[in-house]
Chains A and B, each alone.
Chain A
Amino acid sequence: MQENRDRFRWHATGETAAADLLRECGEKLTDRALWTRFQERFHGLIFLYLMRALRLRRIKDDTSDVVPDLAQEVYLRLVQHNGRVLRSFRGTTEFSVLAFLGRISSSVVQDYQRQLATEKRRAPIIPIESIKLGELAGFRSPGAPEFDSNALGPILSWIDVERIVEGEPDRKNARRNALIFKLHYVDGFQAAEIARFPGFELTKSGVESILARMRKRIQE
């Protein structure tokens, strides 16, 4: 995995902080050296996000064919209106830069999907809200929940989540833990996938122990 990280260079050290580079690019739209650094650092990442967004939105086009065109659109959105989105970027962390590029890539793919639907008149737009992640081909976490989450869905909707939250001994994190419970059992995310995001403030074993505790309480 380290090899992949090096290849796409979003974890490189000793360089300008990603957030600063982003803002600097917004200030100097025609600085070729700066944009070359941007491209070296984030080009592969933009391709990756576009590719993933196309798959997650179930767009059937050959992604290798369409991704370069969409990447061009991402660059256009970055520089249009005199680089407004870049200049207004307020993030400070590496993750905030990734999230920023991810949101723009996702938005470009969403517009592309709308355009396809309009042009081909063949299928209605599938809003992301309607896609159940657990159903996405190739994205199902192998062996994550130990029972069928589809079957669990109706049960979960019957379970009073408020009651679970109220009974949670970790009062400070009661709602976060309930969210983790749903992400795992309803949406099919593995403990490791959840723990990967700093917002949950948990290690993989931390997530697992929360899930075990909540499962036990529900069974009681």
Chain B
Amino acid sequence: MADKSHGECLTEETLTEYLEGGLDPAIKLASEVHLIACDECRIRLGFFMKLLNEEVGAQEAAAVETIAQQWNTSKYKMPRRTGTFPGWLFRCVTIAAALAIAVVGVHIVMDRQAQPKSAGEIVQLLLSQNRPFESRLANEPHLPIIRTRGMEDAGVAYGLIAAEMTRLSADSHQMGRFYLLQTEFSRAISYLEIAEREVGAGAAVHNDLGVAYMESDGPRLEQAGEEFRHAVEKDPLFAPAVFNLALFYERTNTPEKAVAEWKRYIQFDPNSDWGKEALRRLQELTR
């Protein structure tokens, strides 16, 4: 807050501590002097008085109940009204969306024979539908990279799947992977960094954090390399980390190291689709 003629404006913490009655008497008095003179701070005080009002009206209680039910049960997000298009269009879109959801649902049932029962299964299900980037997450099945089709285009309503993840008690690693699949890198990194600090964090966690650093296209590329190396130290046969380490060297313009890592990868995984992709990349580098 800017300085005013009536002194420094109050922080939100001071305002709520004033309401609580927890301020030191001298600070309380100074705050009152300021609040009498500063309309802006008094309005902010009023905002918190309204926000923290412990009385909950019937209408508010019902609304909270509805939201809580939505949080607990919904898996798909309905289109949000923007006010720009007529109502009939939204009804058509709603019907189309419902049909699309039904088709996707049937597809999932046909593919999986069962709905995911854990947060880990949700992530695996999403990974089986899309490959979000070149680098490889732990337990990621091989899919070709389709660059023109984003994850959101696949019709997956991530907002509410996230709620489902929370309901299924997803741990930090799973939440990090989930946000990584949406390419929400800052959120993904926050969760994965938590997972990394946990006791017993394995090669998979280090690998996925490395992917988040590398694909976020930010200043943390070097940290990605460290995480991949850390993963390989933990488990020298952890294929995704070796694959990613090779990619990392490609991206940091050290082709000789990239070649060495691709060769290492092909040695212990020559036949899978990942192995074939590694071989193709190696051939491109040595051409």
Contact = CB atoms under 8 A, between A and B. Distances in A.
Contacts of B58: 4
A128 to B, nearest CB: 5
Interface of A: 1, 4-5, 7-8, 29-30, 32, 35-36, 43-44, 47-49, 51-53, 56, 61-65, 67-69, 71-72, 75-76, 79-83, 91, 93, 95-96, 98-100, 102-103, 105-106, 128-129, 131-133, 136, 139, 161, 165, 175-176, 178-179, 182-183, 186-187, 189, 193-194, 196-201
A123 to B, nearest CB: 13
B20 A95 contact: yes
Given A51-B67, A103-B12, A128 B44 contact: yes
A93 B22 contact: yes
Contacts of B108: none
B54 A182 contact: no
B287 interface: no
B49 interface: yes
A16 to B, nearest CB: 20
Contacts of A100: 16
Given A68-B70, A102-B51, A193-B49, A187 B32 contact: no
B43 A132 contact: yes
Given A99-B48, A99-B52, A8 B159 contact: no
Contacts, number: 183
B71 A1 contact: no
B76 interface: no
Interface in B138-172: 159-160, 162-163, 166, 169, 171-172
Count chain A CB atoms within 10 A of each CB in B20, B33, B51 and give the residue with the most: B51
A4 B61 contact: yes
Contacts of A96: 16-17, 20, 22
B66 interface: yes
B171 A30 contact: yes
Q: Is the interface of A mostly helix, strand, loop or mixed?
A: helix
B50 A29 contact: no
B20 A79 contact: no
Contacts of A199: 17-23, 28
Nearest to B18: A199
Contacts of A99: 16-17, 19-20, 48, 52
B18 A29 contact: no
Interface in B1-46: 12-13, 16-23, 28-29, 32-33, 35-37, 39-40, 42-46
Contacts of B49: 183, 189, 193-194, 197
